[in-house]
């Protein structure tokens, strides 16, 4: 058997996320497994670097899978892009060493959240944007973002209340850029909890609007209580940009 | 009454074009007239610079309409963007002189046709691209495009066989640019017949593939026969970029 690593882009609009515990039919992982299963003639397990929520997009999701030696990276790339739906694309396929694991070996992830702040809608990119037209104090958002950087327990920013494993994660960098009619927030860290980027974004927006202060972030983190953080922004503004190994 | 000029952007994917003779419900003009009619309390006619086909997009369609003096450009802009569906945006509204007419006074239009030539699908822009992965001889397409420039009878490039008016149009410029995985063809002229840009693009693709020669264009034009030109490429790659007055 060979182990292949894939780089995947998807428009998550119509999917229940990368992976869904009940049904795989409406998931990105499920669609890829279905195409590979037909190629192989038997079920293939696709291991993603991590889940993305329903409606979240990716420009650089990584996954790996094992398949018979007769397959090459080139034929798999062509086969996948021929049979996958038009909102999922495999950008590259490469053979990797047998023990490579997309989830266990990931060391860094970058997510981007795009907020449309203008009053004129962007009709062409609307499915990849969250519209938020209230006035925002961006300098305060930047201060608050600095307080979210470090290796800390992010329980207050975790959407899964039944989480039993460690909620300690390292956030390396958060950048906030104003670009024409958009505010783009980019998060780089060793990993993110369920909904974590969306809750961090909602909290930063509340700071920008004056509902919370940059200094509140330390208390929110210390509380280890989801109720203390801001709201969860909708999924469509979020894109997984890159996974590093 | 005041006369207002609007600049409009739309994702044409789910519409039957700018204007439809039978029903206005699924047209862009119809959607705008419906919102303005509610604002005014009586029907408002919106005059577009020209029709765009079903599935064609616009980043700079122009239209004008007459409405009571109580309305201002600012309130109309906000009202329209609040009530129009998310795939139609009004980019600007300005009051213009009473006799300004979007169609009669248009002197130049620019259309762009985007062809995705790569083997890796572009999942985020897929609704604005026509995928064509055959090898293309771009130098030959550029030569053929030069033969389409000038003031000529474009009957062979007209999709309306019952056309009774003059088919003479002036094409000022056609540029063909290769940009990463895309081939972008931009057409500038004083006006275009029904399907004309799409038939020109199909003809250029047939030249690029070697099915037609750059020298054939003169014969195709002289024949004044739609059957002599190439096929009509699908609408989703086409965008009306600009209308000049």
Residue B30 CB neighbour total at 10 angstroms: 17
Which has more pLDDT, B177 or A161? B177
ipTM of this model? Answer: 0.89
End-to-end CA distance of chain A: 22
Helix, strand or coil, per DSSP, at residue B67:
strand
- Give A161's pLDDT tier (boundaries 50, 70, 90): confident
Judged by phi (left if over 0) then psi (alpha if -120 to 50, else beta), residue B180 lies in: left
pLDDT at B23: 66
Q: Which of B90, B123, B128 sits opposite A124 (nearest CB)?
A: B128
Q: Is the pLDDT of residue B22 over 90?
A: no
Which has more pLDDT, A236 or B23? A236
Q: Is B181 on the interface with A (CB under 8 A)?
A: no
Q: Is B86 on the interface with A (CB under 8 A)?
A: yes
Half-sphere exposure of A115 (CA within 13 A, CB side): 21
Which has more pLDDT, A107 or B162? A107
Q: Which fold has domain B2-96?
A: Alpha-Beta Plaits (3.30.70)
The mean pLDDT value of chain A amounts to 96
Q: Which residues have a Cβ under 8 Å from the Cβ of A66 and sit 6 or more positions away? A: A1, A2, A3, A4, A44, A45
Task: Kindly report, residue by residue over A70-81, the tens digit of the pLDDT.
Answer: 999 999 999 999
pLDDT at A23: 66
Q: Is B122 on the interface with A (CB under 8 A)?
A: yes
What is the average per-residue pLDDT within A217-223? 97
- Give A163's pLDDT tier (boundaries 50, 70, 90): confident
CATH C-level class of B108-244: alpha beta
**Tokens at residue B223, please?**
């024949």
Q: Where are the domains of chain A?
A: 2-96, 108-244
Taking alpha carbons only, the member of B52, B83, B50, B68 closest to residue B4 is: B68
B chain contacts of residue A9, beta-carbon cutoff 8 Å: 123-124
- Give B24's pLDDT tier (boundaries 50, 70, 90): low
B chain contacts of residue A119, beta-carbon cutoff 8 Å: 78, 81
The Cα-based distances of B241 to A39, B56, B112, B195 in angstroms read 43, 11, 7, 16
Q: Is the pLDDT of residue B181 over 90?
A: yes
Find the range with the poorest average confidence among A14-23, B11-20, B145-154.
Answer: A14-23
Mutate to test the interface with B, among A35, A59, A124, A234 (most CBs of B within 10 A): A124
Residues A67, A77: Cα–Cα separation, whole Å: 13
Residue of B11, B45, B53, B139 marked active site:
B53
What is the average per-residue pLDDT within B69-89? 97
pLDDT at A13: 96
Q: Is B88 on the interface with A (CB under 8 A)?
A: yes
B chain contacts of residue A87, beta-carbon cutoff 8 Å: 123, 126
Cα of B243 to nearest chain A Cα, Å = 19
Check if A53 is active-site. yes
pLDDT at A24: 62
The mean pLDDT value of chain B amounts to 96
Q: Is the pLDDT of residue A184 over 70?
A: yes
Q: Which of residues 16-55 of B touch A (CB under 8 A)?
A: none
Domain B2-96 shares a fold with domain B108-244: yes
Task: Kindly report, residue by residue over A78-101, the tens digit of the pLDDT.
Answer: 999 999 999 999 999 999 999 999
Comparing alpha-carbon positions, the chain B residue that sits nearest to A10 is B123
Q: Is the pLDDT of residue A162 over 90?
A: no
User: Pairing state of beta strands B130-131 and B108-116?
Assistant: parallel
Task: Kindly report, residue by residue over B156-173, the tens digit of the pLDDT.
Answer: 999 988 878 899 999 999
Residue A139 CB neighbour total at 10 angstroms: 11
Taking alpha carbons only, the member of B97, B104, B63 closest to residue B80 is: B63
What is the average per-residue pLDDT within B98-121? 96
H helices present in chain A, as ranges: 28-40, 73-83, 138-146, 196-208, 216-223
| The model's pTM | 0.91
Percentage, residues of chain A above pLDDT 70 = 98
pLDDT at B200: 98
Residues B241, B186: Cα–Cα separation, whole Å: 9
Cα of B4 to nearest chain A Cα, Å = 18
Q: Is A119 on the interface with B (CB under 8 A)?
A: yes
């Amino acid at each position: 058997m060979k182990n292949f690593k894939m780089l995947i882009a998807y428009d998550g609009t119509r999917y229940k996320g990368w992976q869904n515990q009940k049904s795989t039919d409406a998931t990105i992982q499920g669609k890829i497994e279905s195409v590979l299963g037909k190629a192989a003639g038997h079920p293939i397990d696709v291991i993603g670097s991590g889940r993305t929520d329903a409606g979240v997009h990716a420009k650089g999701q990584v996954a790996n899978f094992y398949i018979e030696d007769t397959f090459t990276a080139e034929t798999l790339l062509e086969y996948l892009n021929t049979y996958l739906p038009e909102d999922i694309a495999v950008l590259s396929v490469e053979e990797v060493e047998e023990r490579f694991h997309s989830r266990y070996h990931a060391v860094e992830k970058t997510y981007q959240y795009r907020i449309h702040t203008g009053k004129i809608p962007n009709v062409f990119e609307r499915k990849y944007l969250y519209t938020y037209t209230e006035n925002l104090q961006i300098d305060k958002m930047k201060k608050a973002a600095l307080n979210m950087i470090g290796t800390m327990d992010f329980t207050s920013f975790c959407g899964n209340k039944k989480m039993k494993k460690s909620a300690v994660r390292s956030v390396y960098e958060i950048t906030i850029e104003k670009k024409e009619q958009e505010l783009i927030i980019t998060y780089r860290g060793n990993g993110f909890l369920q909904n974590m980027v969306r809750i961090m974004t909602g909290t930063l927006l509340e700071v920008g609007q004056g509902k919370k202060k940059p200094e509140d972030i330390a208390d929110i983190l210390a509380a280890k209580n989801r109720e203390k953080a801001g709201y969860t922004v909708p999924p469509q503004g979020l894109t997984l940009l890159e996974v590093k190994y």
